[in-house]
């Protein structure tokens, strides 16, 4: 089996593969203070709930943008799986040239998504990831990572609105607004948040395409709020909730022979 983990600032996405088949996947809250054993117990419970066993010898590949979690994840892998994990970062073979002023600055999750997206379309592609930040990653039709855009995430913007506007209540943003012209405060906030991000996505994607001039450019969305926002945009072609997990598996396969030597 292969365990794949994408550790983000807000959520951690986990998947387990048997060959080409994704047996199960989970999205859990990232706990920066978790211990090695707390992480091990959590993973064992998740596996058992799906009729799976967390076995020693299970390979593990991790993309992580939370430095305090690195030692915990390394310790978990060695104690519970008895293997050294693959880390997506400098020195690992991705199969994708990184055209960035300092490639080490690019978040591991962004490269993973770019690899998976290019593997799907084999052409120019933009990945829009609705995570803690909303990121736009651009890949040329030759399969080169060209860079991208980082904007505040949906939840970050919501928190700023709630904290700075004392009379505005917290709202449930996971519901499509009934109308752009709202008749009450909560609906007004909901419409502003959802359609505000729709406009942000369409505007940025449009500018990227104008700058890229690379023929047909596909746009793939992923992340927790991708379905809600993407359904209202004009620019997103499809949503892939498993894009990051697929990218981690692809990168694992590209590095596995080197590890077995």
Q: Which residues are catalytic?
A: 109
Contact (CB, 8 A) for 220 and 128: yes
Give every strand in the sheet of 11-18, ordered side by side: 21-29, 11-18, 2-7, 59-64, 86-87
Distance of CA 219 to the CA centre of its chain: 15
**What value, to the nearest 5°, has the Cα angle with vertex 236 and ends 245 and 229?**
85
CA distance 225 to 238: 13
Phi, psi (rounded to 5 degrees) for 250: -60, -45
Exposure letters 18-37 (e unless 16+ CB within 10 A, then b): eeeebeebbeeebeeebebe
Which helix (H) or strand (E) covers residue 69, if one does? none
Helices (H), 183-242: 185-212, 226-230
Phi, psi (rounded to 5 degrees) for 140: -75, 170
Contact (CB, 8 A) for 58 and 83: yes
CA distance 99 to 88: 17
> Of 161, 102, 155, 148, which Cα lies nearest the Cα of 133?
155
């Amino acid at each position: 089996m292969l365990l794949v983990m994408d550790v983000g600032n807000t959520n951690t996405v986990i998947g387990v593969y048997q060959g080409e088949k994704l047996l199960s996947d989970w999205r859990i809250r990232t706990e920066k203070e978790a211990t090695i054993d707390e992480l091990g117990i959590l993973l064992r419970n998740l596996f058992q709930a799906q009729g799976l066993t967390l076995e020693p010898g299970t390979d593990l590949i991790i993309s992580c943008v939370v430095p305090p979690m690195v030692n915990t994840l390394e310790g978990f892998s060695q104690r519970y799986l008895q293997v050294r994990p693959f880390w997506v970062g400098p020195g690992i073979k991705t199969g994708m040239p990184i055209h960035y002023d300092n490639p080490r600055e690019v978040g591991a999750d962004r490269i993973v998504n770019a690899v998976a997206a290019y593997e799907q379309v084999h052409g120019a592609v933009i990945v829009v990831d609705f995570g803690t930040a909303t990121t736009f990653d651009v890949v040329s039709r030759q399969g080169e990572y060209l860079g991208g855009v980082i904007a505040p995430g949906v939840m970050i913007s919501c928190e700023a609105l709630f904290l700075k506007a004392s009379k505005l209540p917290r709202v449930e943003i996971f519901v499509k607004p009934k109308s752009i012209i709202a008749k009450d405060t909560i609906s007004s906030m909901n419409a502003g948040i959802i359609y505000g991000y729709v406009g942000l996505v369409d505007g940025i994607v449009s500018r990227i395409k104008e700058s890229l001039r690379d023929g047909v450019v596909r746009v793939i969305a992923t992340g927790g709020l991708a379905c809600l926002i993407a359904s209202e945009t004009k620019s997103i072609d499809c949503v892939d909730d498993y894009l990051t997990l697929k990218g981690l598996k692809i990168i694992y396969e590209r590095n596995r022979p080197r590890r077995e030597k």
